Structure 1
Amino acid sequence: MKKILQLVGLGCILPMFLASASLAETVVEKVARTGFLTVGTRFDAIPYSYVNEKGELVGYSMDVLERIRKRLETRLGRPVTLQMVEANQPGEKINLIRSGDIDIACSTAFTWERAKVVDFSISYSISGIRILAKKGSNLSTPQSLIGKRIALVPTSAAVDVIKLVQPQATIVTTYSTVEEAIKALKTGKIDAIAGDSISLAGTILRDNPQAYEIVPEEALANFGIACMVPEDNSTFLDDVNYAIVKMMQDYITNDTATVSQIDRWFGSQGMVPIPPELLKGFFAFKVIEHAQINPQEAK
């Protein structure tokens, strides 16, 4: 009887041990085993990640992820495929990362609160909190926001910023996406939307950009856009950062393919134009902040 009980006990413990071992698997080990890098991303976030008219998932963040995929292929010596999971809000992405359902999520603003539970890559873009309103609304100062109904996506970085900048504004968090908030703006249910200025500029491209303005000229707060990965995955995070720095270095050194790729989103004729000197300055700072990559090593 004692032996039977011991075997039964072992039978209970073994599945628990195997589950624990599975949870302990790093992202690189998982990708080496399966050949898939699972990504949590929005499908409607212009210019970061969105479905184009051909039904393809494209965007600046998708280009970054493609470079990360290639870097993993180089490390592992095997094909790696990006597996996409739709995840719209930062909180949702964080939960999926912590549960192991996704390996990485990009297009996310860094905050110290989020960094308590996930690790962030270096920033590959910089944006800021600004106000989207109907043209001529005159909402470019904190004082002008007093009593105004400002829509914010509930888990966005804009919530705390608007509360700080103008505590007398009426914050509306009933809209889960910027697209929903724009519909409310059109019908007069709200006065403005606060959020990531690049994302706001990209979103109105599907509407009528001339009917809106994004103010003020100088953002109410600035933040970096980066990728989130699970904690305690230093090898994977190194590969993510390497791929990002390599992209930036290629742009600075005028690599034709890279310049063309980034100009598609942020060039003078791109979706959300950014002055090239600002973009190069930001990239140069991030490269110097880490380390330049030997061109021979990168081949």
Structure 2
Amino acid sequence: MPVGDRAEGLSLLQQGRIDALASDGILLEGLRRSLPDADAYEVIPPQPFSREVYGCLLPKQDLPFRAQVNQSLTRFMEGVLSGETAATQLFERWFGPQGIVPWDTLDTVAHFQQVVEQGRTIGPSRLSIFQPPQRSRRVQSP
């Protein structure tokens, strides 16, 4: 049954009008933890089946801003990896054992390491992980 948003879906779930609510797992976990009866619900699977890419919507031709965003994200990742206090506290606030959405962060930290190493090689503003995908043209066969 389609719902307008997670809040509506949660309401229907609480009323017993739907059996489950499907959405982004980390958002559902945050929603679950905000409930007074959080232990009455669970998010499955407890860890994601796969890693998905999140993105930022930016003005298409604002390359200096894109570079600034890439560099800011890379600096944050470097800060987490090096144990920098501000970055670590922010990361722990959201994903640490006592965080808003506790998460097994091993995969996330490994991903951060991969991005930082790529940035050292080619420069953070040129990281392919932050670049828009190249669109391929469809060629129809005769």
TM-score class normalised by the smaller sequence: 0.7 to 0.9
The structure in which a higher percent of residues are helix is 2
3-state SS of 2:57 partner: strand
1:252 Cα deviation (Å)?
A: 0.2
Q: How far apart, in 2, do the equivalents of 1:279 and 1:286 lie?
A: 11
Alignment partner of 1:265 out of 94, 103, 106: 94
3-state SS of 2:23 partner: strand
CA change 1:223–1:287 in 2 (3 A) is: same
Q: State the partner residue of 2:19.
A: 191
Q: How far apart, in 2, do the equivalents of 1:276 and 1:219 lie?
A: 12
Gaps of 5+ in 1: 1-171, 294-299
> C-alpha root-mean-square deviation of aligned residues, in Å?
2.1
Q: State the partner residue of 2:139.
A: none
3-state SS of 2:22 partner: strand
3-state SS of 2:55 partner: strand
Gaps of 5+ in 2: 124-142
1:291 Cα deviation (Å)?
A: 2.8
1:211 is aligned to 2:44: no
Q: State the partner residue of 1:275.
A: 104
TM-score normalised according to structure 2 size: 0.76
TM-score normalised according to structure 1 size: 0.38
CA change 1:285–1:268 in 2 (3 A) is: same
Structure with max Cα Rg:
1
The structure in which a higher percent of residues are strand is 1
Alignment partner of 2:53 out of 224, 227, 249: 224
CA change 1:266–1:285 in 2 (3 A) is: same
- Percent identical residues: 27
Question: Bigger relative contact order, structure 1 or 2, given CA contacts below 8 A and separation 6+?
Answer: 1
CA change 1:221–1:289 in 2 (3 A) is: same
3-state SS of 2:13 partner: helix
Aligned residues: 122
Q: State the partner residue of 1:80.
A: none
3-state SS of 2:32 partner: helix
